[in-house]
Chains A and B, each alone.
Chain A
């Protein structure tokens, strides 16, 4: 089998996509009121931080930002794999009545999003949850759809999509491996 790696989005492309998503979030919600950005550890959390910065530039206000670790909510949890350490969930406020924008890097089967939603519910009852992803690569296994998408990328199941971050957690590029 041959291995190939294609860059499907570079740093500038990522920035453009995130800027557009920021605008869409503000437009859809008519501003920042009641909005909380929650990133899924770890790629989604980095992107949530990027979005928060962009939103601040656009709107002049900053949105509360948090991180959710979905390890303890996974549905593929079994004895088959050794357990890695559980990361911290850091949600700075109760989500009761908030509009949560859940952020992830790549949307695939939807199972991660399902787990993240369960985790969020344990922190209060939000008014609504919206989903923002940088890449939607298809192949959903659950009835889940993103509200904000950076780029739709048709893929085969054999391929792998990865968002690459630098050491200070800034997104550098999105690559497709096959």
Chain B
């Protein structure tokens, strides 16, 4: 029987295919709980989970909070304001202060890539779950995307998945690339060359495409990434209008994908920029299912990090 032997879940890069299969299998069982009248099990009774969010995120934080509560854990949300960060309390000091509350799990979102590894070293007896770190990874999003894809196709191998957008700055892209390629799928990337990091093709079974059409052609899944005006608007692209013209998903270019291909987006969506509303609300969109799977996947992550010693 496979077992999960990691203290933390920081990156899908650190997990094996077996680890991810286990997390997804448990997530499927967790989904049953979410459909009951009494949506609660006593599993993590007496455990304390701190949601430490240095970047605002209603969606991911709420999803983790509900996941913790459905497992009967006590969940506390801490959102260090930007002002207290500038007052000079370091992440290490914040962590040590939190440690006084004896948390079992800290779910953190932080703007610095790799800061979870730092936190984990400082808190050897507490599990750390990454809810997004800088431009590195967003493993819960990767897993919920994988679960959504598996629900639809019944498998995660031998699929062609197109990921379109700002690959350089996307932690969602990194987690999906790591996860999907380990599961045996093939990933095709497209985006303006200003948003394509060097060596992206070496990240696994990954092909970097010249344009969106090449990436979408015969794809089973089309995953669109969020474009942020504040970030990409300065030097990476001329403006949203031109971006959507060349890298946006619309009913016409979606026809290039396999019939019935899944359309996904990690949200929040800029309608009319990365995707047209016809696609967002269209029959091929699985965006709401992604959200539903979020809670189940996060319950699975919380459950598995709570057990077991690392080897």
Contact = CB atoms under 8 A, between A and B. Distances in A.
Interface of A: 69, 71-73, 77-90, 94, 118-119, 122-124
5 nearest CB pairs, A to B: A82-B308, A83-B307, A82-B3, A72-B43, A72-B41
A72 B42 contact: yes
Interface in B121-154: none
A72 B307 CA distance: 12
Interface of B: 1-5, 22, 25-26, 28-30, 32-33, 36-38, 40-43, 71, 300, 303-304, 306-309
Nearest to B303: A83
B309 to A, nearest CB: 7
Given A85-B2, A86-B29, 5 more contacts: A72-B71, A81-B307, A84-B22, A119-B41, A122-B36
B25 to A, nearest CB: 4
Contacts of B41: 72-73, 119, 122
Q: From A69, A84, A124, name the one whose CB has the most chain B CB atoms within 10 angstroms.
A: A84
A69 B307 contact: no
Nearest to B310: A82
Contacts of B43: 71-73, 77
Nearest to A83: B307
A122 B4 CA distance: 27
A72 B72 CA distance: 10
A88 B32 contact: yes
A73 B303 CA distance: 12
A16 B107 CA distance: 54
A115 to B, nearest CB: 9
B29 A84 contact: no
A86 B30 contact: yes
24 contacts: A72-B42, A73-B42, A78-B307, A79-B306, A81-B3, A81-B308, A82-B5, A83-B3, A83-B4, A83-B26, A83-B303, A83-B304, A83-B308, A84-B3, A84-B22, A85-B1, A85-B26, A86-B25, A87-B29, A89-B33, A90-B32, A119-B41, A122-B41, A123-B36
Contacts of A83: 3-4, 26, 303-304, 306-308
B47 to A, nearest CB: 10
Contacts of A89: 29, 32-33
